[in-house]
Chain A
Amino acid sequence: MTAAAPTTLSRPGGLWVAFSNNRLSWVGLVLLAAIVLIAIFAPLIAPHDPLEQNIVSRLEPPSAEFWLGTDSYGRDVLSRLIYGSRISLVVGFLAILIAMSIGATVGILAGYIGGPFDQLVMGLLDVMLSFPTLLLGLMIAAMLGASLENLIIAIAITEIAPFARIARAPTISLKQRDFVEAGRALGFGPVRIMRVHILPNMISDVVVMGSLWMASAIRTEASLSFIGLGVPPPAATWGGMIREGFENILDAWWLAVFPSLAILLTVLALNLLGDALRDAIDPKLRAE
């Protein structure tokens, strides 16, 4: 007779079960895969050079040559959109990766060490969390200056506190579990216990939130680019394109609409994916 099942994701093949239970997750996966492939194969897919200016054809609506129209410099919107996906995905992914690494480490340490250290860290996290994400990103980006690297850093910093929080809670409950006490009784040091016994048992929670927050990171990137604190022109970024579209909204609707759609689809894909993963680790499914 087998014992109670663990969470779906901690079993081999668990990811597959998570997906087969949720149709929408397939939509998210396919959509995200499409966007990633577009980003990777941008040079092969884009019909025109995103930076090539063509003053003669400026502000033209969608046509046979320029499928999504041109902007005020005559650049092909479609090509800029395709190349813009690279920026969004890279920034979103790297920012979350950095934030996750730092945030989860801080969270685990705070949860495991406890006491005054934990209270201090929690206080700092509360301060960070009380800033609206965008405002925080704005302040940091403004201080550092506008560039791709600084953008990634700024967004990463805004996401550290949430990761620390969601790493801390399971750490505290895992710390009470008998197998952690067994580790201490067996003479394992705190580093080994945190690395081998605590981290693997909570990392899926953290990674799942990571996928959901990547959507948030991409939105922040777009917002910062919109304000002008993102990657500087003439680089093609979705946020920057919306800014330009915003200025020309009455004359050239296509400049604002298509980048917005791009952001919407990317964020939607990540949310669907993240929701499916999160349902898979839902505590109600934990039978322990």
Chain B
Amino acid sequence: MIPALHNGALEVRNLTKTFAIGGGMFAPRAEIVRAVNDVSFTIPKGMALGLVGESGCGKSTVARAVLRLVEPDAGAVIFDGTDIRAAKGAALRRLRQRMQIVFQDPYSSLNPRRTIRQALEEPLRVHFRLSRQEIVEKAELAVAEVGLPREAIDRYPHEFSGGQRQRIGIARALVLGPELIVADEPVSALDVSVQAQILRLLEGLRERRGLSFLFVSHDLGVVRHFCDRVCVMYLGRIVEEGATAAVLDRPLHPYTKLLRDSSPVPDPKARLALTRILGEVPSPTNPPAGCTFHPRCPRAESLCSIEPPQLEAIYAGRLCACHFPASQNS
């Protein structure tokens, strides 16, 4: 077992989470969904790692499992040398200060009955023993840091637009002074112009505070802009990992190529020349045998339906889970 280092990094090893759908006292047997299947990655301090994939790939579950908002079934999550899964009580609370989450839906991420001030002061009161004055100051600082006017602090969420609410959600995530931010589709629900404002805000915060990010998104353009490295997920597994530009420009895994080729680009000369996109994502309760992508894969051979490929280093810094990855020079 590799010893854990106190280096401010997040290490996820062999994370697994299964859900049972249906079941209960009087229902027929539940179906098992392997939402997250043996996922491993590392986020060194200050890095932004993107997690991309389509619905059902498990990226949101990974994000929540890392914060123990969903309890993993197996695997390890280690932050700055501390095992998150083993932490309890006060130790867990201290860890929570250091790792926070920003949600996708600005309309659901704030309690409609609490003012912004209350939403920001509450975590401070729960975690720290500060004087009233210190709490007020920290809350007002957080509001200023996300670019909202001071008067905003005594208003209610419904008085703000989607972009402003997202800023408030970010302020709430920052108020405890975390080192890692898990962002679950933080700009997907926003208009393009607002999206750019929020991304710029997040970039600025990342620089000033030295934050690490686990950035979950389905939008490759956003991920390319924000993230240093990216993991591509399909049906609960990571199928490719590497530096973002390299993965998107020279994908090794056929699914990454499919994803990249399907993402529309604002250039009419680069119209999609997809030959045939075969099929849809299979049901997660009944994944195909062997490599889960093989029914849709243009390169599939008989081995692919028998043996699931492992995530391996193909060359420096590039991982791929495929029996027949694209060559480096393609």
A11 touches B93 (CB 8 A): no
Q: Knowing A187-B126, A192-B126, A201-B112 touch, does A181 contact B103 (C-beta < 8 A)?
A: yes
Query: Which residues on B sit within 8 Å (CB–CB) of A6?
Result: 112, 158
Check: A56 CB closer than 8 A to any chain B CB.
no
A179 to B96, CA, bound (A): 16
Interface string of B145-159 (1 = CB under 8 A from A): 000000000000111
- Segment of B46-54, B160-168, B319-327 in the binding face: B160-168
Contact of B111 among A4, A119, A197 (CB under 8 A): A197
A188 touches B109 (CB 8 A): no
Q: Knowing A187-B93, A187-B126 touch, does A11 contact B158 (C-beta < 8 A)?
A: yes
Q: 8 Å CB contacts to A: which residues of B114-150?
A: 114, 122-123, 126-127
Question: Can you name the residue of chain B whose Cβ is closest to the Cβ of A174?
Answer: B111
A119 to B159, CA, bound (A): 39
A196 to B121, CA, bound (A): 13
Check: A5 CB closer than 8 A to any chain B CB.
yes
Question: Can you name the residue of chain A whose Cβ is closest to the Cβ of B172?
Answer: A182
Q: 8 Å CB contacts to B: which residues of A130-188?
A: 177-179, 181-182, 184-188
Contact of A185 among B101, B112, B158, B159 (CB under 8 A): B101
Check: B283 CB closer than 8 A to any chain A CB.
no
Q: Which of A5, A6, A119 is packed against the most chain B CB atoms within 10 Å? A: A6
A3 touches B25 (CB 8 A): no
A123 → B minimal CB distance (Å): 9
Check: B107 CB closer than 8 A to any chain A CB.
yes
Check: B88 CB closer than 8 A to any chain A CB.
no
B230 → A minimal CB distance (Å): 24
Question: Can you name the residue of chain A whose Cβ is closest to the Cβ of B161?
Answer: A1
Check: B108 CB closer than 8 A to any chain A CB.
yes
A185 touches B113 (CB 8 A): no
Check: B217 CB closer than 8 A to any chain A CB.
no
Query: Which residues on B sit within 8 Å (CB–CB) of A192?
Result: 126
Contact of B25 among A2, A119, A182, A196 (CB under 8 A): A119
Interface string of B76-120 (1 = CB under 8 A from A): 000000000000000011001100110111111111111000000
Check: A200 CB closer than 8 A to any chain B CB.
yes
Contact of B108 among A5, A178, A185 (CB under 8 A): A178
Check: A10 CB closer than 8 A to any chain B CB.
yes
13 contacts between A and B (CB under 8 A): A3-B157, A182-B101, A182-B172, A186-B96, A186-B122, A186-B172, A187-B92, A187-B126, A188-B123, A188-B126, A200-B113, A288-B108, A288-B112
In the complex, besides A178-B104, A178-B105, 8 extra interface pairs with C-beta distance below 8 angstroms are A3-B157, A3-B159, A179-B111, A186-B123, A188-B123, A196-B122, A201-B113, A288-B112
A285 → B minimal CB distance (Å): 13
Interface string of A28-67 (1 = CB under 8 A from B): 0000000000000000000000000000000000000000
Would you list the 8 A-B pairs with minimal beta carbon distance, nearest first? A187-B96, A178-B109, A178-B103, A187-B93, A186-B123, A200-B113, A178-B108, A179-B111
Query: Which residues on A sit within 8 Å (CB–CB) of B103?
Result: 178, 181-182
Query: Which residues on B sit within 8 Å (CB–CB) of A182?
Result: 101, 103, 109, 169, 172
Query: Which residues on A sit within 8 Å (CB–CB) of B107?
Result: 3-4, 288
A185 touches B67 (CB 8 A): yes
Check: B176 CB closer than 8 A to any chain A CB.
yes
A3 touches B161 (CB 8 A): yes
Q: 8 Å CB contacts to B: which residues of A1-24?
A: 1-6, 10-11
B161 touches A2 (CB 8 A): yes
Check: B69 CB closer than 8 A to any chain A CB.
yes
A179 touches B108 (CB 8 A): yes
Question: Can you name the residue of chain A whose Cβ is closest to the Cβ of B163?
Answer: A1
Question: Can you name the residue of chain B whose Cβ is closest to the Cβ of A198?
Answer: B111
Contact of B69 among A4, A185, A196, A200 (CB under 8 A): A185
A6 to B157, CA, bound (A): 10
B113 touches A10 (CB 8 A): yes
B109 touches A4 (CB 8 A): no
Interface string of B3-44 (1 = CB under 8 A from A): 000000000000000000000110000000000000000000
A5 to B147, CA, bound (A): 23
A188 to B69, CA, bound (A): 12
A200 to B122, CA, bound (A): 15
Q: 8 Å CB contacts to A: which residues of B196-242?
A: none
Q: 8 Å CB contacts to B: which residues of A190-207?
A: 192, 196-197, 200-201
Query: Which residues on A sit within 8 Å (CB–CB) of B108?
Result: 177-179, 288
